[in-house]
Structure 1
Amino acid sequence: HVNYTWDNRISFSHLFLLGWDSTREINAYPPGAGPLAVYKVDEFYSALDYAYAGYSNLTNAIGPYSYNNEDNNKTDPQFCTYYYKKGIIHGFNESYEFNSEIVHKCINFTNGENEVFKSQKLIESANLEVNFAALVRAELLFSLKTINFRAAGPITPPDCFRFDVKIIFDNEDHDGQMSLTLDAEPFKLTCKGDKTYITDNQIDQILRSVLNILVILICSVSLILCSRAIYRAQLLKELTCQFFRRAYDKELSLDGRLEFLNIWYIMIIINDFLIIMGSAIKEQIERNHFTNDQWNICSLFLGIGNLLVWFGVLRYLGFFKTYNVVILTLKKAAPKIFRFSC
């Protein structure tokens, strides 16, 4: 799902962003190309015209995209501007008029079937003034529907999605460079399906649910036991402090108190919590209980939890004579390494 939504975002960039090319699809350092931006007024309106033309001609796209209504008729995109309430610059005498309150206004891009679309004329006819000195951000909004057949098989049916596409013209820096970006937020829809498509085999879904529930149960037991161990250690610490006051008439040192706090148990509690949350989100996604795509959040929880699990494995390596020296060296050097990296 993550790859599918990302690939669609790339496809939308090719279809709707003026000046987009394949070199921008790869994150490289140093980047292979400069930022995608507009620098002239006519380039701004040309970018809007290009996006509207791509939206109006979805049949030219290889992807099976449809408009966001039941009869597949084109809905009007929405154009919104965010600008300072007052922003006038007189550069010749170093003076200005400025009100930092940001206001916004939206209009629909409506055009006849056989008419040539000109965004500048439509914006002017709607009494929407685009003052680039005061403009903070402009957005073109529309939605598309599509169906993913790639993962379809005898067990998994096709998935239906709606993408809320947002083309952003960012002029927040007011440096003469208005960056042009595209964002596409996926929302999973309930497919009406095909009457001839049979999905009686639920074995795969049942096995995934059993695995998710088993992981949640095991991690829950681990979390409870580790929490119980930390709680009992704190009770023992209080008894030890009372013993030191009664027998030696002094307080237990801070280092002595910290001996009762097992950091390894705390790390296990954290990674158990993350894995429980990630598995629960994964189960909800697979049951189609989420309307939008939550795979990124799910991957974040499970990934960090798994990373902490492997950190915990290092403690067991310390029990072996061969690896004990290495683990102790890493333990002693870690504070200095972190200090150097910061």
Structure 2
Amino acid sequence: MDINLQQAFDLFIFDRETYCNAKTVKNYKNTLSYFFDYMKETYHCEICDIKLSDVTLMDLKGYVIMLRKRDKLSSHPYKPTEHKPITNTSIRTYSIDLRTFFNFLYDNDYMENNLMKKFKLIKRETKLVLPLFADEVKEIDTLFNLKTCTGLRNYCMVHLMLDEGLRSGDVCNLRVHNINFQQNHILIFDGKGNKDRIVPLATGLKKHLHQYATIYRPYTDHDYMFCSVDGAHVPVTENTIKCLFARIRKKTEITRLKPHLLRHTFATSFILGGGDLESLRIYLGHTSYDTTQNYLHLANTYNRMGSDVYRLDKIFFKTYYSVS
């Protein structure tokens, strides 16, 4: 049976929905849509009119070439004029999802030929990502008025990423009952990997989190830790955090500042403070050492340079050793 690309996509998504989380499925839909747009433009028809058997290795290679020439923000609603090419890392991610898609079709006998056998992935970029330095964190902290609900909330969200290594999604999904102020730890449900992990609660952050939870957090019918401040008191979203970081970037002019940079800074600081890779892997929620190992090299580089990278509170490590 020769199915078309639309049917192939529907079969693939149905399969992924049986065991992948919603965010992963959404990512597959987004990244594969780029390939389908390319195919529609190339074949001058909808993907429901393109037979799976008509897709060739040259189509896949042509798609990668198109990505390398495409502006990163070409589909942005405000049509920016600045030329920013898509990074090799992003192209590699799109290609990996494409490989997963076609491997699924081949493994389940929807295709006779394995197109991925001769499809080479572009090499990822090895850019050096600078962590936040101590003076930069001080500058960021001056923006938060800790005597207001919004200021204290924003400070806590930022430092959960900076001092605990949480992802922005972890911050949004954090529940009040997951913070154990007596035992000094936080239970994180990792939506990315559907697994729980425990991280030590930094002493300085503990005071501010407790203050927000007991004094400033509005009364709600839900248990999410952080709420909007518009009167609706709904849980904050990742878009809330993106907007917060956009304002911080504008006021501090730290252009490289993004939520993930804080997690990157935490990992580097953890190694610089004497933490071990296995504990770091667990705290970050990594399934393998591949990503975690990179921080050891970075920490050693900054240590030799004598760079004033933001350091975790020494008391954090006392808590860390008691939790380990």
Q: TM-score, normalised by structure 1?
A: 0.24
- More contact order relative to length (CA 8 Å, sep ≥ 6): 2
Structure 1 or 2: larger helix share? 2
Structure 1 or 2: larger strand share? 1
**Of the two, which has the highest radius of gyration?**
1
